[in-house]
Structure 1
Amino acid sequence: MPVMTVDRRRALAVLAGLLIGVFGSLLAAAPARAHAALVGSDPAGNSVVPDAPNRVTLTFSESVQLISGKIRVLAPDGSRADQGEPSVSGTQVTIPLSAGGGRGTYLVSYRVTSADSHPVAGTITYSVGAASTPPAADEAADVAVDPVVKALIPAGKYLGYAGLVLLIGPVLVLALLWPHRLNRRGPGRLVWTGIGLVTGSTLLGVWLQAPYTLGAGLFDVTVSDLRDVLGSTFGAVMLVRLGVVVAAAFLLRPLLSGSGGGESKLDLALLGVLGVAALATWPLTGHPTASPVAGVSVVIDALHLAAVAVWVGGLVMLFGFLLPRANGRELGAILPIWSRWAMAAVGALVFAGVVQSLIEVSTLDGLINSTYGRMIMAKVALAAVVIGIAAYSRKLVGSRAAEENPGPLRRIVLAELAVTAVVLGVTSFLVQEPPPRTALASETGPVSTTVTQTLTTKNMSLQVDVFPATVGNNSIHLYAYTPDSKPLPVVEWKATASLPAKGIEAIEIPLLRITDFHAIGDIGLPQAGEWTFKFTARTSEIDQNTLTMTAKIS
């Protein structure tokens, strides 16, 4: 017994050291970033429109949910230009605006929750008539996360993964492999610990989601904030998880009591259904829900978690209970079956990991040059080590040497557990890191290729929009205003475009009057370069203004 106690203390010391090492290095990583990105808006960012719109539309790279009070539109004078509550439909957010907005630059600030439960925030500007100094940025656009909240989120996820491992694997072993003569009190405590960790992790996740999405401190949370979280998709999934865990706790009592045998086949079947439901709640609050093939990703991620829980949970049972307590005859029956389970779990783990990585990374550049990709490679390297150790343990089981002397196998199992503890730590941070497919959208963001310039004389202000400012067909929009920014009626428009550097003489641009002060035209620009545009606007029988601008056509 003293030797066994020393072994267990050493095992706990090794695991504790590994966990501290994992968290010590990874907690210093960059803060979790949003996994959705703004990919378009109407009006477009940095654009100039002739008339005040009645709404602003924001389009994101994946579906989003609103955060109460975190979307605003500020007028040039700093007052609120939005009116009523914004609405969301999938990837599109619509913000109604007050009628009769004045000229100048407007600021749109937003903070929403992406499909994978992460906040995304930012600002765009657009101008009515002509640009002006934009109003000050709103605090809603700050996506910073409180340092304590940032540290607790992966820690909570780690506890949830650990609870899942201590729940699913041990229950499976108790139901199908546990010798009838052995008492179940020790494994029962392990399973109850798993239930406690999953429950605690879920409650902590619900609490942390409020300050995480709001950008607030850990305790700057109100009942209304928690109500908003519970009313979101994230909250609904977490409530389902809690319900499943509570139901499983009632069904597990016969399996965990005394020497066992009190459980019915119906109870075991119901536990299997609840286990599948519980596993599905993890991908439903993470990256898989925002995947291009969400259904496939959710199933694959759940399979990945199931394989880990069965394999690692089974290893915990082997190391902690079966190898020390079971006799040679019992081990001779248990170990070959467990070896086949482990091989199947490893195969499922590798398959699911490869498929999910291909979906989320998709390119070699994304694998090498992104934090997410490098974490994937770290997981693969660690998994290769574990698989190598597992192959050796399978060889020991095949030789049947472990039946009479389980000591070497216990040491190998301990090594497997140590490395998988590190893998779980990496996974806890991986789920907070944006995959390359969404990181690319975030870096690119909405891009407007419209060239907009405002030309002025003492008698008029002329706004010119050239779209898309690339070789080929382009649209020209002209808006005429008085020096005090009022619409100026134009009797006749003329325009030309030339590229002196390439010897292209002035090409006439046919213009069509849309309103008294607005004209449009189309022209084909055959080459890239610095084009010169010349505009003449006649405002009366004797008054006209000629203005010139250059624009880079790519």
Structure 2
Amino acid sequence: MTRQLRLFLILLGLALASLATTGQALAHAALTKTVPADGAVIASAPSAFSLSFSEPVSPLVLRLIGPDGTSRPLTHFTLTDRTLAIAAPSALANGTHVLSWRVVSEDGHPVGGSVLFSVGAPSGAPDLAASQTEPTVRVVLWLGKLGLLLGLALGIGGVAFMAWVAPLPVAARRPIAGFLLLGLLSLPVAFAAQGLDSLALPLSGVLQLAVWKAAAASSFGRTALIAILALLVALLALFVPSRSGRLLAALAWLGLGAALAASGHASAAEPQLLTRPAVFLHAIGMAGWAGALLPLAFALRQADGAQALQRFSQRIPALLLVILLSGGALAIVQVERPQALLTTPYGLVLTGKLVLVAALIGLGAFNRYRLTETVVSGLAGARALLTQIIAAEIVIIVAILAVVALWRFTPPPRALAAAAAQPASVHIHTDKAMADISVTPGRTGPVTITVSLLDGAFGPLAAKELRLALSRPEAGIEPIERQAIKQADGSWQIGDLTLPVAGRWTVELEILVSDFEMTRLKETLDIRP
């Protein structure tokens, strides 16, 4: 027991350290398209802006900062599926503007960024203060999530014991009620921290109404509502007659699954017909297994405890199968590539969880195949040994939940892949010609480059030929030259190009306007790893 407790304390310290040192939470939803495009120079002020994302989002803060640094809130918008259409203020001044946005993704994670565009001609971009969540807020959010998970797993899971195994031992009711109260007390903590994180506010802003509204507007608001009802029903089940108590316990158990399926990156992933039911079943199975351990430990102190142990031993394989199948399906959807288990933060958290689950299964198998029969036969010392192992299992479960709570701060590899697939773009503006260059995807490897040409008056530029060169002298890469092919829509495209390294590349365009006129444009472009 002491050894497992030390392991848990080490994991707890590492978790707190990782939360405190993370400079900025990573995004789960990726911005896929903006109108105007980031870096674009447009002839006249737009009547509207639009932001498109890889996943459904809800707006939190939208504002427009003008060339003079004046900030205006953008309050008129419509949300259609994954695209946010925003009404633009009237009479925008010439120069560079910054569209600053902060939204919350379907998995409850806040995402923020800025889009720069210029009206008429570029000017000095106004300075923006970086908005990021304080480490203390992240720690409080993690602790709130952990307390809630403990209340759901060991509280509701403990009450569910009487719905699928045996009546609850009287001595187990008080600690189970304690875990239910822990969940109820942790909910407002997690809820407030969710709102603070969404708006990138410090702990001192917890009393602001906007914080609580932001939390309620996120998908975690649904989880909080269902969870509080499930916890209250489970608490009631402890104090009603056995038949009614079992019915209430089953309802609370189902509510637990619904609460965890209502939000989170796993349930937000596509296909929804697979992921949400998988999260529901995984939560039900997890709570059923974890919650049964505490009642079993108390049941072993009673004369008829062996009967409860036998029922649990006979029925747990079906529950374990549900856990493994649903968890495997979710892992495949989220991780996508096996190497991501060791190369991404999400994968490392999942790997840590799997190691702890493997240890838990090992102890459970030893209990079932080596100790259960000896306890039933009444062998001296068997019950005491089994009780000690169950205590160790509970410590491992707490460690698993502590690790799982870290997923709130780690984007799944599928989200990272979506973000990496987004194009890199740059706008080149001169008096004679302009070019919008888009590299898809905006990372190393095979890419497709699309170029749209305009003249200095924002009209179409009828070029005869376009040649592009990319170079990165710092990496020893001399110009890679390609001839662009004109497309039916008037744009130019290059498809046979591979960018070997990440970093800032120099892009040069040679535009043959006529047999006697050649225009050259040059700019730099950032390519992601």
What TM-score do you get using the length of structure 1 for normalisation? 0.78
- Is 1:244 equivalent to 2:223 in the alignment? no
Q: Is 1:477 aligned to residue 453 of structure 2?
A: yes
Q: Bigger shift: 51-60 or 418-427?
A: 418-427
2:519 paired residue number: 548
Q: Which structure 2 segments of 5+ residues have no match?
A: 441-446, 470-478, 498-506
8 A contact 2:484–2:493 mirrored in 1: no
Task: Say whether residues 1:263 and 2:234 are aligned partners.
Answer: no
Matches within 5 A, 1:130-141: 130-137=121-128, 139=129
Q: Which residue of 2 aligns with 1:313?
A: 291
Counterpart code for 1:380: L
Give how far 1:413 is off.
Answer: 2.0
Which of 48, 54, 66 is 1:75 aligned to? 66
* Alignment partner, residue 366 of structure 1: 340
**AA in 1 matched with 2:365:** A
Mapped pair 1:26 → 2:2:
no
Aligned to 1:462: 432
**How is 1:186-225 mapped onto 2 (pairs within 5 angstroms)?**
186-221=171-206, 222-225=208-211
Matches within 5 A, 1:425-436: 425-436=402-413
Note if 1:106 corresponds to 2:97. Answer: yes
- Cα deviation code 1:57-89 (max 9, x no counterpart): 11111111121xx21122223334666423323
CA distance, structure 2, for counterparts of residue 359 and residue 507 of structure 1:
38
Residues 160 and 198, structure 1, Cα contact 8 Å, conserved in 2: yes
Give, in angstroms, the shift of residue 98 of structure 1: 2.3
SS at match of 1:464: strand
Provide the rounded CA distance (Å) in 2 between the counterparts of 1:19 and 1:468. Answer: 48
- For the pair 1:86 / 2:83, whether they are aligned, the reply is no
> Alpha-carbon deviation of 1:202?
1.4
- Structure 1 Cα separation of the partners of residues 188 and 55 of structure 2: 26
CA contact (8 A) 1:396 1:402 kept: no
| AA matched with 1:304 | H
Partner of 1:102, secondary structure, is coil
| Pairing partner for 1:351 from 320, 325, 344 | 325
What is the CA deviation profile of residues 262-317 of structure 1, one whole-angstrom value per residue up to 9, with x for unaligned ones? 233x5533431332123211232211332012232222122222222221221222
Which residues of 2 match residues 263-412 of structure 1 at below 5 A? 263-264=242-243, 266-319=244-297, 321-323=298-300, 325-327=301-303, 330-397=304-371, 399-401=373-375, 403-404=377-378, 405=380, 406-412=383-389
Question: RMSD across aligned C-alpha pairs, in angstroms?
Answer: 3.7
CA, structure 1 residues 438+469, in 2 after alignment: closer, same or farther (shift >3 Å)?
closer
* CA gap 1:349/1:83 in 2 versus in 1, 3 angstroms: closer
CA distance in 1, matches of 2:45, 2:230: 51
Residue 177 of structure 1 and its aligned partner are, at CA, apart by 4.6
Aligned to 1:514: none
Q: Are residues 308 and 403 of structure 1, via their aligned partners in 2, closer, same or farther at CA, if it must alter by over 3 Å? A: farther
Question: What SS is found at the alignment partner of 1:117?
Answer: coil
- Tell me the distance in 1 between the aligned counterparts of 2:468 and 2:162: 84
Distance 2:138 2:492 in 1: 53
Cα deviation code 1:470-505 (max 9, x no counterpart): 999976533335xxxxx8x99xx8744365999x9x
**437 and 18 in structure 1: CA distance in 2 versus 1, 3 angstrom threshold:** same
Q: Aligned partner of 1:279: which letter?
A: G
Tell me the distance in 1 between the aligned counterparts of 2:405 and 2:340: 20
Contact 2:144 2:189 in 1 (8 A): yes
Label 1:82 to 1:127 Cα distance change in 2 as closer, same or farther (>3 A): farther
CA distance in 1, matches of 2:269, 2:218: 19
- 1:279 and 1:547, CA in 2 relative to 1: closer, same or farther beyond 3 A? same
Q: CA 1:65–1:521 in structure 2 vs 1: closer, same or farther (change >3 Å)?
A: closer
Cα distance in 2, alignment partners of residues 192 and 360 from structure 1 = 34
Q: CA deviation at 1:378?
A: 1.9
Paired amino acid for 2:191: V
User: 8 Å contact 1:304–1:352 — kept in the other structure?
Assistant: yes
8 Å contact 1:14–1:418 — kept in the other structure? no
Distance 1:474 1:109 in 2: 26
- The aligned residue for residue 428 of structure 2 is 453
Aligned residue for 1:497?
A: 465
- Give me the whole-angstrom Cα distance separating, in 2, the residues matched to 1:549 and 1:299: 56
Matched residue type, 1:390: G
CA distance in 2, matches of 1:46, 1:61: 20
CA distance in 1, matches of 2:296, 2:492: 76
Contact (CA 8 Å) 2:296, 2:305: kept in 1 or not? no
Q: Aligned partners of 2:309, 2:295: CA distance in 1, in Å?
A: 12
Structure 2 CA distance for aligned equivalents of residues 393 and 509 of structure 1:
70
Q: Displacement of 1:217 after TM fit?
A: 1.4
Q: Distance in 2 between matches of 1:150 and 1:37?
A: 21
Contact persistence 1:297–1:356 (CA under 8 A): yes
> For residue 501 of structure 2, what is the aligned residue in structure 1?
none
Aligned residue for 2:40? 47
**Can you list the C-alpha shifts for 1:389-418, whole angstroms capped at 9, x where unaligned?**
111111124533454231222232233223
Q: Hey, what's the Cα distance between the residues in 2 that align with 1:407 and 1:425?
A: 28
Letter aligned with residue 154 of structure 1: W
- In the other structure, the counterpart of 1:150 is 138
- The 8 Å contact of residues 112 and 119 in structure 1, kept in 2 or not, is answered as yes
Instruction: Report deviation, 1:437.
Output: 0.9
Distance 1:81 1:214 in 2: 17
Structure 1's 352 and 536: CA in aligned 2 closer, same or farther, altered over 3 A?
Answer: same
Structure 1 residue runs of 5 or longer lacking an equivalent are 1-10, 255-261, 456-460, 482-486, 512-519, 538-544
Corresponding residue of 1:517:
none
3-state DSSP of counterpart to 1:109: strand
Q: Give secondary structure in 2 for the equivalent of 1:388.
A: helix
Could you tell me which residue of structure 2 aligns to residue 120 of structure 1? 111
8 A Cα contact 1:81 1:97, kept in partner: no
Q: Retained in 2: the 8 A contact 1:18–1:418?
A: no
- Aligned residue in 1 for 2:59: 66
SS in 1 for 2:399: helix
Equivalents in 2 of 1:500, 1:432: separation in Å? 41
Given that 2:62 and 2:101 are in contact with CA atoms closer than 8 Å, whether structure 1 keeps it comes out as: yes
| Cα separation, partners in 2 of 1:526 and 1:118, compared to 1, 3 Å | closer
- In 2, the alpha carbon distance for the partners of 1:19 and 1:524 equals 55
> Structure 1 residues 392, 103: closer, same or farther in 2, change over 3 A?
same
Tell whether 2:394 aligns with 1:417. yes
| Structure with bigger gyration radius | 1
Q: 1:51 to 1:365 in 2, by over 3 A?
A: farther
Alignment partner of 1:229 is 2:197: no
Identity of aligned residues (%): 24
CA displacement at 1:147 relative to structure 2: 1.7
